[in-house]
Amino acid sequence: MFDQDLIRKWLDEGTINHAQAEKMRADLEEYKAEHRSKKQIIAFSTIGAILIGIGAILFVASNWEKIGDTVKIMLLAGSTVGIHYTGYSLKYKNQKYSRLGSALLFLSALLFGASLFLIAQIYNINANNSTLVLIWLLGVFPLIYGYRSTAVAGLCSLLFYLWIGLLYSERNSLNESINILDLYLMSGIAIYFSGILHELSAKLKHTVSTFKFMGLQAVLIALFIYTFGPLESKGEEIISVIYAFLGLLFLAVLLSKSLRSRLTGFQTDMSMAVISFLMAGITLITTNSQVSEEAYMGFFNLVFLGLLVLLLYAGYSTEDIGIINTAMFWFIPLIFARYFDFFWDLLPRSFFFIIGGLALLTLSVVLERKRRELKAKFAGVGE
């Protein structure tokens, strides 16, 4: 998509005349206004759909004791099916309201889960149950492909992480064999890899950015927590094998020329392979030798910082403002955390907070200015 700078460049070079430049500027402003309007409609539709769902759930919950069990189930199932059908009709039959239809389809996915937990409560089934989350996940997962829904893809990623957490708390055998951070780090890498696999198919590319984003965030959260120090090591040998296996899966795709040609984010994709092998190595080292807490923290701080720098480079190379935003966002908590580590005991409390606040404000201004410069340079990409 061209922008004002590009129009000015063409005008200076004589590629277009002043009349054509004015026409292009008018068309560009119209396109941007329409694009903003579409994003607002999507936001309002989604928020409205969620509010309707919350209202329906609260209505049933507030009258829970007054309604019979059969009526409760019929209300929950009927509202879920009714909203789903309405969304389908608006999106595919009456295509004038496709965005509203998409929002209602997403609402039906939320109501399906809410209905599961409320029905479980009717039959005195523990609602804090990983099986219910798994049923919710499997029940709405086909909507990702049937309706090409990126919102449901994000929901399924969150449900997968929730299921992993609940399963970990329920199964003592799992709790004893792996620590929770390794489990979530592996899960994030696996979700990201699923995004790569989806990118290999033209029909599934609508899910790529969502799966990659959700996987990358889990990886960054886990690595950031590791920068504070080691957790209790569990099942080190098998854990290192799993990390190495995940790394090999990435290499199998990324080093194949025929497959790599279909991918758009090679640098970011390769960083996940690097993280997998680094985790395999550090897990193997800690299994066979004693590593000090300082060395452990230093290693993960370097890994986390290196990953952020690589993400910035990848975002700049591919003109992906989303990757750049992610990297810039995570620079702030990293700097803030290390500032606390180094200066909490060295500075008086008043100076500590004043200096820290000024540093964060300056950093946020610099990062935001740089982000806007890059966004403008990418000629409207991400608008």
Once rounded to an integer, what is the mean pLDDT over residues 248-263? 87
Q: Which of 233-242, 312-321, 346-355 has the lowest mean pLDDT?
A: 346-355
Percentage of residues in the chain having pLDDT higher than 70 = 72
Tokens for 218, please give them: 């889990």
Measured CA to CA, the distance from residue 292 to residue 236 in angstroms comes to 17
The predicted-structure confidence for 80-112, as pLDDT tens digits, reads as follows 888 888 888 878 877 677 777 888 888 889 889
Measured CA to CA, the distance from residue 276 to residue 340 in angstroms comes to 29
Measured CA to CA, the distance from residue 220 to residue 189 in angstroms comes to 10
Tokens for 45, please give them: 């539709």
Q: What is the pLDDT of residue 72?
A: 76
Once rounded to an integer, what is the mean pLDDT over residues 328-355? 68
Contact present, 326 and 216 (Cβ < 8 Å):
yes
Tokens for 68, please give them: 């019979």
The predicted-structure confidence for 189-210, as pLDDT tens digits, reads as follows 999 999 999 998 888 888 999 9
- The answer on pLDDT for 335 being more than 60 is yes
Coil, strand, or helix at residue 351? helix
Q: What is the pLDDT of residue 347?
A: 53
Q: Residue 212's Cα: distance from chain center in Å?
A: 7
Tell me which residue of 142, 140, 144, 235 sits closest to 186, measured CA to CA. 235
| Residue boundaries of the structural domains of the chain | 1-127, 233-383
- The answer on pLDDT for 349 being more than 60 is no
Helices (H), ranges, the chain: 4-13, 18-62, 69-88, 98-122, 130-140, 143-146, 150-170, 172-177, 180-199, 208-226, 236-254, 257-260, 266-288, 293-318, 321-343, 349-377
Measured CA to CA, the distance from residue 238 to residue 254 in angstroms comes to 24
Q: Residue 9's Cα: distance from chain center in Å?
A: 37
Contact present, 250 and 270 (Cβ < 8 Å):
yes
Measured CA to CA, the distance from residue 31 to residue 39 in angstroms comes to 12
Longest Cα separation, the chain: 77
Contact present, 188 and 215 (Cβ < 8 Å):
yes
